[in-house]
């Protein structure tokens, strides 16, 4: 059992906040609240990233996830006006089963990671910081091909999203309209 | 070709098969566009060309009479079995080729005229080409049968002609009794032949087992195996070959299909069911002579079957009213003569009778076809006839007095009838006399039976001639009958001439055919001409004819009259008339039990037990599927739950391991 | 000592992951299901970064970067799908989207 240090206290606090926000997201009836709680969860995780000396990832977490993606979520929620869904649950038994299974998995994880064979690895806080330089160097040398592929994936996603959300007009009218234009 | 001075044509032998096939293909592809005359002419030319090739082969054999094997293609090479596609040219096979293609060509020509009418009477002119396709296929198959170098290749032809027979008997498959009569007749012929083919197959297996080869050349010199087993096997070969013969050549007990086969168009009856295919059995025995010589059992059985068939079928022919049925039973009877001859070892006599019989029986059938169409013509042009009522243009009771209206047909028919009855000096006399003379020296019982059969032959032919051509016309249809066109009558005249002079092929003491065949079959028994026997058989023929005249010619048959023989013979005649109840007996003994067994197998066994099992399995699968179908409820969340459960389970397993 | 045992991070990650999985299963709103997916991604990322730190190797962070890109793409397409479905069915209840059943 490690000595209780400030680091550990901070970690446990942040971890507790992360789990609490995740739980809140799960059980919140209002989707907007869920989204906001998830943003909070992302922020706590970003905090952990900073602690582990990964400022680039931490910032990306906040800007990309908490910023861009969650804004997108909120936008869609409000666009559709589906903050709430009728409370008719067909699969209540399933929900119970899911929670139980989740508990089983968590127990299993605890058993494996903490009790059965705890790893001797440790995570150092406040140690070496992985600079943006280093990540950039890796991305443009060793991971060049995957990096390029990600750009392609994003392109496909953009195009796909546009096509999927394009308003479908009746075929005949669409053609006419285009001719007139 | 070792003989350089004369041109030899042996290498042309594959053409006897491929020329008819070429005609077939042409007609198959473009026959319908060519019109009836052209397509019929192509078919006739194909057959005629095969005849020319056969003639060339005959010329080659005259200068070089030893058998020649012309290899064509490798066929089967499995272990010790080596069967090649090879043609055998020897005097026996060329004789058959000449008969098949020669008579076949005449019948082709005749059929151009006959089928022209026939397809119109049956209201489907489009079937004209199909008929000639089948005919050419038949010629090709028959050529394979007779030109084969091995039993297996013969078997290919054997099955091929069986198929053609089936197709042609069922040519008007939608006609006949209750719309299925012709189809049933075709089926009957095919299935009965299967029994014979089974015999052929078993015989082949035994030959291969015993001698290790199926080639005729190699089998020609085998010696009898020693030991009890060998004797049994050799006897078995003979008996199973006999079974094959009884199937194809319509002998007892498998003859029942041939009379029904008359459902086919008349040229078919003439070509396949009188002149050529049914003689394949005789050819097979002649071809298998070296094997039959090995054991006395086979030949004796063959001879007895032939003799019994000859007499049995002749009696039935006496009681028939259908012009073609009479000829059909006559064919069976004459085939019995041939089979008896080859069984007794008189191969030359058997082949001789085969050839002459091909002439006069083809003539009789074709003339009968001419008569039928004449009567049918009269029926159709009779303004008072009820055209919807059943009218049988083949029933001799509906005929009479045709002599004045169909002069050519009458003349040639009488020639054919006299030849068949065995009146000297027509073809049938010499050939039949040779068989009877052979039996005289061998077996007095057979001799008597054959003579009796000959008497019946003369009698039923006389009966037929008087019923059909003389007396007064018994129906308006017979009154309106008229002669058929030249395309039909010319082949009749040619065949009539052949029937008149066919005996010259093997005159006593000259023995052209005997010397010709001697090159192929060693140790032929010389034919002996016996004035006593010749006199007896001639007397028998004339007695038969006289009896025929006494009962049928003296007083004209009146419409609606019953057969005058009925009063005289009573129940015996009924037996003739009802074909000795053979069909009924077979039905009761074989078919009915078989049907009952089938019914048991069909209803309780198949439908309840087997289908029950199958359906049960199906139903179980259905239940099971519906059970697990619940899992696929379309709810993504349920699927995710199952995945999660899987994760938990695998992790649990890894931990608890 | 500025160290925290690796196991703690792993347990935290496992708990977050499991919560995400439970979210996918028990929520009928596809938007929340997507959020739960993001939570699961996040849990995985956490382990990546933790191991990257423990081994003193930046490769883990590169993977996190890629995961984020893929997640962004996935969210873009997924949300577009939801919008399209809402247009045609006027509901986004995931339990009503079961036309492929049986």
Q: How confident is the model over A39-87, as pLDDT tens digits?
A: 999 999 999 999 888 889 999 999 988 888 888 888 888 888 766 666 6
Residue in B638, B651, B655 nearest the CB of A94: B638
Per-residue model confidence (pLDDT) at position B200? 93
0.90 surpassed by pTM: no
Per-residue model confidence (pLDDT) at position B334? 92
Q: Using a CB–CB cutoff of 8 Å, tell me whether A94 touches chain C.
A: yes
Put simply, the answer to whether A61 touches C5 (Cβ < 8 Å) is: no
Residue C17 is assigned to a structural domain of this protein: yes
Put simply, the answer to whether A102 touches C69 (Cβ < 8 Å) is: no
Put simply, the answer to whether A123 touches C15 (Cβ < 8 Å) is: no
Is the backbone peptide bond immediately before B253 cis, with ω within 30 degrees of 0? yes
Phi, psi of A142 (to 5 degrees): -70, -35
Strands (E), B43-201: 68-78, 81-89
Per-residue model confidence (pLDDT) at position A124? 81
Per-residue model confidence (pLDDT) at position B481? 81
Contacts of A160 (CB under 8 A, 6+ apart): C76, C77, C80
Per-residue model confidence (pLDDT) at position B31? 81
Give the pairing of strands A122-124 and B68-78: unpaired
Residue spans per domain, chain A: 1-84+99-124, 127-155
Residue A65 burial (CB count, 10 A) = 25
CA B626 to chain C, closest CA, distance in angstroms equals: 9
Which stretches of chain C drop beneath a pLDDT of 50? none
* Cβ neighbours of C101 in B, within 8 Å: 632-635
* Cβ neighbours of B638 in A, within 8 Å: 91, 94
Closest Cα in chain C to B630 = C102
pLDDT tens digits, B127-136: 888 899 999 9
Per-residue model confidence (pLDDT) at position A20? 94
Put simply, the answer to whether B637 touches C99 (Cβ < 8 Å) is: no
Put simply, the answer to whether B648 touches A111 (Cβ < 8 Å) is: no
* Cβ neighbours of C9 in A, within 8 Å: 48, 123
Residue C19 is assigned to a structural domain of this protein: yes
Select from B265, B266, B270, B262 the least CA-distant residue to B103: B270
ipTM: 0.88
Select from C62, C73, C71 the least CA-distant residue to C40: C71
- Exposure on the CB side of residue A159, measured as CA atoms within 13 A: 6
Residue C102 is assigned to a structural domain of this protein: no
Put simply, the answer to whether C99 touches B644 (Cβ < 8 Å) is: no
pLDDT tens digits, A125-177: 777 788 888 888 988 998 999 999 999 999 999 999 888 888 766 555 444 44
Put simply, the answer to whether B633 touches C94 (Cβ < 8 Å) is: no
Closest Cα in chain A to C86 = A80
Q: Using a CB–CB cutoff of 8 Å, tell me whether B634 touches chain C.
A: yes
Per-residue model confidence (pLDDT) at position B1? 42
Q: Using a CB–CB cutoff of 8 Å, tell me whether C83 touches chain A.
A: yes
Burial status of residue A25 (CB atoms within 10 A of its CB: 0-12, 13-18, 19 or more): buried
Put simply, the answer to whether B644 touches A98 (Cβ < 8 Å) is: yes
Which residues from A are below 8 Å from B when comparing CB atoms?
90-91, 94, 97-98, 101-102, 104-105, 108-109, 111-112, 116
Residue C44 is assigned to a structural domain of this protein: yes
Per-residue model confidence (pLDDT) at position B385? 61
Per-residue model confidence (pLDDT) at position B50? 93
* Cβ neighbours of B636 in A, within 8 Å: none
Q: Where in the sequence is the domain holding C88, given as residue range(s)?
A: 6-96
* Cβ neighbours of C97 in B, within 8 Å: 634, 636
Two tokens, residue A47: 């905090």
Put simply, the answer to whether A19 touches C16 (Cβ < 8 Å) is: yes
pLDDT tens digits, B633-644: 777 788 888 888
Put simply, the answer to whether C25 touches B641 (Cβ < 8 Å) is: yes
Which stretches of chain B drop beneath a pLDDT of 50? 1-4
Residue C101 is assigned to a structural domain of this protein: no
CA A167 to chain B, closest CA, distance in angstroms equals: 26
Q: Using a CB–CB cutoff of 8 Å, tell me whether C35 touches chain A.
A: yes
Residue in B632, B634, B647 nearest the CB of C99: B634
CATH, residue C71? 1.10.287.3510
Residue C41 is assigned to a structural domain of this protein: yes
CATH number belonging to domain A1-84+99-124? 1.20.120.1200
């Amino acid at each position: 059992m490690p000595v209780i240090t400030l680091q550990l206290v901070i970690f446990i606090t942040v971890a507790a906040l992360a789990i609490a926000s995740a739980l809140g997201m799960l059980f919140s009836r209002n989707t907007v609240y869920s989204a906001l709680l998830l943003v909070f969860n992302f922020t706590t995780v970003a905090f952990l990233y900073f602690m582990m000396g990964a400022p680039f990832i931490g910032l990306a977490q906040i800007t990309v996830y908490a910023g861009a993606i969650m804004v997108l979520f909120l936008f869609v929620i409000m666009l559709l006006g589906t903050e709430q869904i009728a409370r008719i649950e067909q699969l209540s038994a399933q929900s119970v089963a899911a929670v139980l299974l989740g508990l089983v998995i968590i127990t299993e994880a605890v058993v494996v990671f903490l009790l059965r064979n705890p790893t001797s690895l440790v995570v150092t806080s406040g140690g070496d910081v992985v600079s943006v330089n280093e990540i950039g160097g890796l991305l443009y040398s060793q991971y060049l091909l995957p990096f390029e592929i990600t750009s392609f994936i994003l392109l496909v996603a953009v195009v796909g999203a546009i096509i999927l959300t394009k308003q479908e007009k009746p075929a005949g009218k669409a053609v006419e309209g285009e001719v007139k234009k | 070709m070792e003989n350089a001075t004369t041109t030899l044509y042996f290498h042309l032998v594959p053409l006897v098969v491929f020329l008819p096939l070429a005609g077939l293909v042409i007609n198959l592809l473009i026959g319908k566009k060519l019109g009836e005359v052209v397509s019929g002419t192509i078919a006739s030319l194909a057959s005629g060309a095969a005849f020319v090739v056969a003639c060339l082969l005959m010329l080659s054999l005259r200068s070089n009479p030893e058998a020649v094997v012309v290899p064509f293609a490798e066929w089967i090479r499995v272990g010790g079995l080596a069967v090649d596609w090879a043609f055998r040219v020897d005097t026996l096979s060329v004789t058959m080729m000449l008969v098949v293609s020669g008579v076949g060509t005449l019948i082709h020509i005749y059929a151009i005229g006959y089928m022209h009418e026939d397809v119109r009477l049956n209201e489907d002119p489009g079937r004209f080409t199909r008929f000639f396709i089948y005919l050419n296929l038949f010629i090709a198959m028959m050529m394979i049968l007779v030109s084969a170098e091995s039993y297996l290749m013969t078997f290919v032809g054997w099955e091929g002609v069986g198929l053609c027979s089936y197709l042609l008997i069922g040519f008007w498959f939608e006609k006949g009794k209750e719309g299925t009569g012709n189809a049933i007749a075709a089926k009957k012929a095919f299935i009965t032949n299967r029994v014979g083919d089974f015999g052929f197959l078993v015989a082949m297996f035994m030959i291969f087992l015993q001698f290790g080869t199926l080639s005729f050349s190699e089998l020609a010199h085998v010696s009898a195996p020693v030991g009890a087993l060998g004797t049994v096997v050799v006897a078995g070969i003979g008996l199973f070959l006999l079974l094959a013969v009884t199937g194809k050549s319509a002998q007892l007990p498998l003859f029942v299909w041939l009379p029904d086969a008359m459902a086919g168009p008349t040229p078919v009856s003439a070509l396949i069911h009188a002149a050529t295919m049914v003689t394949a059995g005789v050819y097979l025995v002649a071809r298998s002579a070296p094997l039959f010589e090995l054991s006395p059992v086979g030949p004796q059985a063959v001879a007895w079957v032939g003799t019994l068939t000859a007499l049995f079928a002749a009696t039935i022919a006496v009681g028939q009213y259908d012009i073609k049925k009479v000829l059909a039973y006559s064919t069976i009877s004459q085939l019995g003569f041939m089979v008896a001859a080859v069984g007794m070892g008189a191969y030359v006599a058997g082949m001789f009778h085969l050839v002459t019989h091909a002439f006069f029986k083809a003539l009789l059938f074709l003339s009968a076809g001419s008569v039928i169409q004449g009567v049918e013509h009269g029926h159709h042009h009779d303004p008072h006839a009820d055209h919807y009522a059943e009218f049988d243009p083949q029933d001799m009771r509906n005929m009479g007095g045709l002599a004045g209206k169909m002069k050519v047909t009458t003349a040639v028919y009488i020639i054919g009838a006299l030849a068949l009855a065995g009146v000297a000096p027509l073809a049938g006399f010499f050939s039949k006399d040779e068989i009877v003379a052979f039996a005289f020296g061998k077996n007095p019982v057979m001799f008597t039976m054959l003579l009796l059969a000959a008497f019946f032959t003369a009698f039923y032919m006389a009966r037929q001639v008087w019923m059909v051509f003389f007396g007064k016309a018994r129906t308006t249809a017979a009154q309106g009958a008229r002669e058929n066109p030249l395309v039909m009558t010319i082949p009749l005249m040619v065949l009539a001439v052949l029937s008149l002079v066919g005996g010259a092929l093997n005159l006593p003491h000259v023995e052209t055919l005997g010397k010709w065949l001697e090159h192929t079959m060693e140790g032929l028994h010389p034919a002996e001409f016996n004035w006593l026997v010749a006199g007896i058989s001639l007397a028998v023929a004339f007695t038969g004819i006289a009896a025929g005249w006494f009962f049928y010619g003296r007083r004209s048959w009146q419409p609606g009259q019953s057969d005058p023989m009925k009063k005289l013979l009573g129940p015996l005649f009924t037996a003739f008339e009802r074909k000795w109840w053979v069909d009924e007996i077979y039905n009761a003994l074989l078919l009915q039990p078989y049907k009952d067994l089938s019914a048991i197998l069909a209803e309780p066994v198949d439908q309840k037990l087997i289908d029950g099992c199958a359906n049960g399995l199906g139903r179980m699968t259905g239940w099971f599927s519906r059970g697990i179908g619940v899992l696929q409820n379309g709810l993504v969340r349920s699927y995710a739950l199952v995945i999660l459960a899987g994760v938990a389970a695998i992790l649990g397993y890894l931990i608890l391991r | 000592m500025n160290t925290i045992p690796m196991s703690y991070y792993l347990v935290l990650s496992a708990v977050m992951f499991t919560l995400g999985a439970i979210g996918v299963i028990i929520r009928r709103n596809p938007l929340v299901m997507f959020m739960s997916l993001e939570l699961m991604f996040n849990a995985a990322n956490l382990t990546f970064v933790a191991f990257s730190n423990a081994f003193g190797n930046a490769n883990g962070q590169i993977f996190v970067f890629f995961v984020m890109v893929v997640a962004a793409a996935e969210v873009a397409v997924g949300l577009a799908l939801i919008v399209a479905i809402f247009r045609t069915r006027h509901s986004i209840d995931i339990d009503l989207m079961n036309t492929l059943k049986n």
